[in-house]
Structure 1
């Protein structure tokens, strides 16, 4: 999938541009340093999705020029999966844990990426979930169905936990996502004795505040990591791609569980991020990190300011 010139791309030019505003080359896609907080964006591989998974609810005649502009296939999309690793003091924090081996054949590479940074599963002190979709949660358990991050404490939004642990969810989520509900409940049950819950606006760790970004899932959370006047927003999937989610955030997307609410969330968040020029880390954004710019015809994702 070719990317537009303004995207934060791999390679020497992209890395040099990234270094100019706080991203540094290395084993991770990008590194953001905020005071004593270091954030590394590492890969869990990628997904292969039918284009209709995102595009089906959209007006197809208006969608076509966006697909052409970003040189996308309307049939198959291959979004990256980017996990955020935060190190601050004695804390080693993962925001989401990737797919593990059971969801997608070209995903589940998180442990290899962490090894390149000399981080082992036993080093992780905290795991924070944006939401409980498979590509964010199913890497939780090892081959023996024990928690892989054996020394970690876990955190998830209260609304998200309540939704996935509701026994009725498997029957109401729809056939296409029923396996998501079964898989989420099985994994979350394994950590229910060591998980804490939070709500919108709470500081869940020093310098890390939860931001409600509901819609993609009923309790989806983003996280604002701040040191003084500098901040970065870990988006999860509330802004789920670098193309149509920016060009037409008001459109309903097939990837969202509550499509209308998710669109409202995207528009409001993009407005904030563009106005504040806050760095963003997105789970499915190319190279993981960049900025939001607002133009006369929508928004763009860029690694340049």
Structure 2
């Protein structure tokens, strides 16, 4: 059983941050690095602790404590996407916070591993007392008719997004670039991975940027920022967005927290030629 002291926690300005986990998803090398050749892919997978064609991508979920609010950034997949996920509620309880104590949930985007933990199998909300925030563009994409133009293989993503977004339709706030969720916690529009993907910036002596899937890997996104991620819905825009975001992180000496990065996914980056180098915090990885 995971203990609370196994989770990485830190202070950032006025905020307390604990990096929880929903588990991990298993992804093939063609998802981590679609443009790579076979040798490059295998080297990347080995650097991520995998091999033989696949590696694990963690699902790091920040719990933000403002002193008056408990805020989650995304809700994981529940047990609806891959069987290695669905651990968020248990791990949240293990750090002493019950689901009904969550007061705000920010949804970065509506892909399964970020959203499908929203609703329990009995139809009730997993976080029944929370207010929910998602970008206006993301809401309009999935709840409108544009999702119907996605390939047939992605139509389950559309159905799942509509199911879970409809469940919060009476308590959702639609946000735009620059909006504050609470004072000191600001929305960054980072489109490309999905139409309305958002990251978050937290004020401090230097910013903390929660990149989510605008930078899907601490290896590929840094070493090959010109490459896409296999689930990017608009790869060209995603690459452009990532480069802008990472350049801003370097110029601000920002701390970064990545959703799919090796746990806890927290560190800084520096320029390395035309690419970047990730400098992780020194902490053990949570085994899930």
Please give the TM-score of this superposition, normalised by the length of structure 2: 0.90
Change (3 A) 1:274 1:62: farther
CA distance, structure 2, for counterparts of residue 61 and residue 252 of structure 1: 16
Report what 1:30 is aligned to: 8
How many residue pairs get aligned? The number is 278
1:205 is the counterpart of 2:169: no
For 1:80, the equivalent position in structure 2 comes to: 58
Task: Give the aligned partner of residue 172 of structure 2.
Answer: 195
1:89 aligns with: 67
Which residue does 2:196 correspond to in 1? Answer: 219
Matching of residues 232-247 of structure 1 within 5 Å: 232-247=208-223
The structural deviation recorded for 1:168 is 4.0
Displacement of 1:72: 4.7
Q: 1:266 aligns with which of 234, 239, 242?
A: 242
- Cα 1:68/1:253, change in 2 over 3 Å: closer
Deviation at 1:205, TM superposition (A): 1.2
Q: Give SS of 1:280's match.
A: strand
TM-score normalised by length of structure 1: 0.86
- 2:33 and 2:41 in contact (8 A); partners too: no
Which of 240, 257, 266 does residue 281 from structure 1 map onto? 257
What aligned pairs does 1:124-143 form with structure 2 within 5 A after superposition? Answer: 124-143=102-121
CA distance in structure 1 between the partners assigned to 2:248 and 2:55 by the alignment? 28
Q: 1:102-121 counterparts in 2 under 5 A?
A: 102-121=80-99
Partner of 1:155: 133
What secondary structure sits across from 2:139 in the alignment? helix
* Gap change, CA 1:209 and 1:68, over 3 Å in 2: closer
CA distance in 2, matches of 1:180, 1:59: 26
1:107-138 Cα offsets, whole Å, 9 max, x none, are: 11001111111001000000011111000001
Question: In the superposition, relative to structure 1, how do residues 129 and 167 fare at CA in structure 2: closer, same or farther (>3 Å)?
Answer: same
Whether the aligned pair in 2 keeps the contact of 1:67 and 1:74 (CA below 8 Å) is no
Is 2:243 the counterpart of 1:257?
no
SS at match of 1:140: coil
CA RMSD after TM alignment: 2.0
Give 1:292's aligned residue: 269
Q: 1:173 aligns with which of 143, 150, 170?
A: 150
1:275: Cα distance to partner?
A: 2.1
Q: Any stretches of 5+ residues in structure 2 without a counterpart? A: 283-288
CA-CA distance at 1:255 after TM superposition: 2.0
